[in-house]
Structures are given as structure tokens and as C-alpha cells.
């Protein structure tokens, strides 16, 4: 009985601050306060009228798009070698790909400063792409590998025995079989990259900035409700992604074990 009360309270508690942010973004007052003074869209107008905010949002979207594509492609290659070629130490390699998950983000931030400055990429878009690829690989790898394990290699063998060339077999037989896994990897790593702050804020500079990092520094410095409007937009983006993910593979994917 107590456990049920805890569970229901937790399920209400998790979305609470997000709902509050979205609701407070519609205030007409110059500061956030409760109960809100009046309803208006003025903070959305300010956000969408600001070239700065829009540029930062574009950077974030492009970064997440490139990062997700590269890490999904890299994951597909790795999963192919591990699952199909059954390379030696395949499980060890899978564990290595998951290591960015077991490092605290603050430590990864400093590690990446060291790496990017030796490459001359600190504070550049290229540097951010590299780091976001590393950060999203653990998320991109699992869905692709799971899809590849489920796909039947006999189909490929059949295509090959009927005279199909390796590349054609890959494009017309293998790839369609893992498509849901690929789309899941892309969407999942896109979300992770688009929302990433802790590592990214070590690596941004005067020439490159991402949306969540910009929101973070604005919250530290001001109390303008425009932050609520930007945050609500981020929430909207994430909802769209979750909706598509649910359609493609189903939300229970997140709690399944392979």
C-alpha cells in the first residue's frame, strides 16, 4: 500500500518541473512569479525574434544531426563486425564502446579539453561534433546491435547464393532488416546530443554555442522568462522525438533487455 502511494507520487513528481516551466513561459510579467500575472506569448516573440537564440538553436540541431549520423554509422560498422563476423573479443569491444557511460561527466569534460586543445579544436564546431559522437556511441550502439542480432543471416546467405553481389545484398537485404534499429539509434543519439550540457559547456567558445549551454548560462545570470520560453521549445523538440520513437519501436524499448 505504501509502495503504491510512493509509486503514484513519483510518477506525478517526474513530469512536474517540466510542466511548471512550460506553464510559466506564458506569463506576461517581466519576471517569473506565482500565480502568473497574465497570459501572453511575448517571451516566445522575444525568443523567435532574437537572431542570437535562433543561431544557437540552429547550431544545436546541426550538431545533433551530424553527431547522430556519424555515431549511428560507426555503431553499425562495429555491430556488423561483432555480430556478423563474430570477431574475437567481440564482447570486450562492446564493453569498451559503453565506457563513456561509466565516466562522470565532469571528468569527461576535462578529458575532452585536453584532447581538443591538442588537436586545436577547442571552441570549434568540429570539436563538438567529435565529442558528441563519443558521448552518443553507447546510446547508438545498442539498438543497432539488437536489430542485427534479430535479423536472420539466412536471408543474406540466400541472396548471395542466388548470385547477389555483397553490396547489393547489403543495400537490399541486410539494411532493410535493421532499419528500425537504425532509426532508433539515430533518434536516441540525436536527443542525447541535442540535450547534452555538462560536457559541452567545457568546450564551447565565443564562436560556437549550443542551446542547452546557452540556457544554462542565462539561468545563472538572469531571471528573464525568455528562458522559460526557450526551455519550453526544447521540451517540445524532445516530445516530438519521443513521439516518433514510440511510433518506430515502441516506448517499451527503453526497458527491454537484449
Near another protein in 206-245, by CB under 8 A: 212-213, 215-216, 219-220, 227-228, 231, 234-235, 238-239, 241-242
Q: Which of 66, 109, 125, 248 touches another protein (CB under 8 A)?
A: 109
Closest separation between CB of residue 177 and another protein, Å?
A: 17
Asked whether the bond before 131 is cis by omega within 30 degrees of 0, the reply is no
Q: Which of 66, 170, 195, 248 touches another protein (CB under 8 A)?
A: 195
Residue 246 in contact with another protein, rule: CB under 8 A: yes
Closest separation between CB of residue 202 and another protein, Å?
A: 6
Comparing CB distances to another protein, the nearer of 159 and 234 is: 234
Contact 189, 67 (CB under 8 A): yes
Cα 249–chain centre separation: 16
What is 85-133 written as a DSSP string?
Answer: S--TTHHHHHHHHHGGGGS-HHHHHHHHHHHHHHHT-TTSHHHHHHHHH
Residues facing residue 27 across a β-bridge: 39
Per-residue interface string for the shown chain with another protein, residues 17-56, x marking contact by CB under 8 A: xx-xx--x------xxxxx---------------------
How many Å apart are CA 240 and CA 237, to the nearest integer? Answer: 5
Residues 145-184 that bind another protein (CB under 8 A): none
Amino acid at each position: 500500500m505504501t509502495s503504491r502511494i510512493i509509486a503514484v507520487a513519483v510518477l506525478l513528481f517526474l513530469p512536474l518541473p517540466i510542466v511548471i516551466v512550460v506553464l510559466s513561459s506564458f506569463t506576461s510579467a517581466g519576471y517569473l512569479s506565482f500565480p502568473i500575472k497574465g497570459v501572453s506569448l511575448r517571451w516566445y516573440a522575444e525568443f523567435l525574434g532574437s537572431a542570437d537564440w535562433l543561431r544557437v538553436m540552429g547550431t544545436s540541431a546541426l550538431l545533433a544531426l551530424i553527431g547522430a549520423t556519424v555515431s549511428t554509422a560507426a555503431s553499425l560498422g562495429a555491430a556488423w563486425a561483432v555480430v556478423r563476423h563474430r570477431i574475437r573479443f567481440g564482447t570486450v569491444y562492446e564493453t569498451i564502446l559503453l565506457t563513456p557511460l561509466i565516466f562522470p561527466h565532469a571528468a569527461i569534460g576535462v578529458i575532452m579539453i585536453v584532447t581538443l586543445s591538442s588537436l586545436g579544436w577547442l571552441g570549434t564546431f568540429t570539436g563538438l561534433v567529435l565529442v558528441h559522437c563519443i558521448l552518443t556511441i553507447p546510446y547508438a550502439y545498442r539498438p543497432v546491435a539488437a536489430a542485427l542480432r534479430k535479423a536472420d543471416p539466412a536471408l543474406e546467405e540466400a541472396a548471395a547464393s542466388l548470385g547477389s553481389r555483397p553490396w547489393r545484398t547489403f543495400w537490399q537485404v541486410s539494411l532493410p532488416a535493421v532499419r528500425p534499429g537504425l532509426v532508433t539509434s539515430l533518434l536516441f543519439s540525436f536527443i542525447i546530443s541535442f540535450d547534452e550540457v555538462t560536457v559541452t559547456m567545457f568546450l564551447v567558445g565565443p564562436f560556437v554555442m549550443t542551446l542547452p549551454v546557452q540556457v544554462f548560462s542565462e539561468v545563472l545570470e538572469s531571471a528573464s522568462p525568455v528562458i522559460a520560453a526557450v526551455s519550453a521549445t526544447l521540451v517540445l523538440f524532445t516530445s516530438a522525438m519521443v513521439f516518433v520513437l514510440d511510433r518506430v519501436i515502441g516506448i517499451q524499448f527503453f526497458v527491454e533487455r537484449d
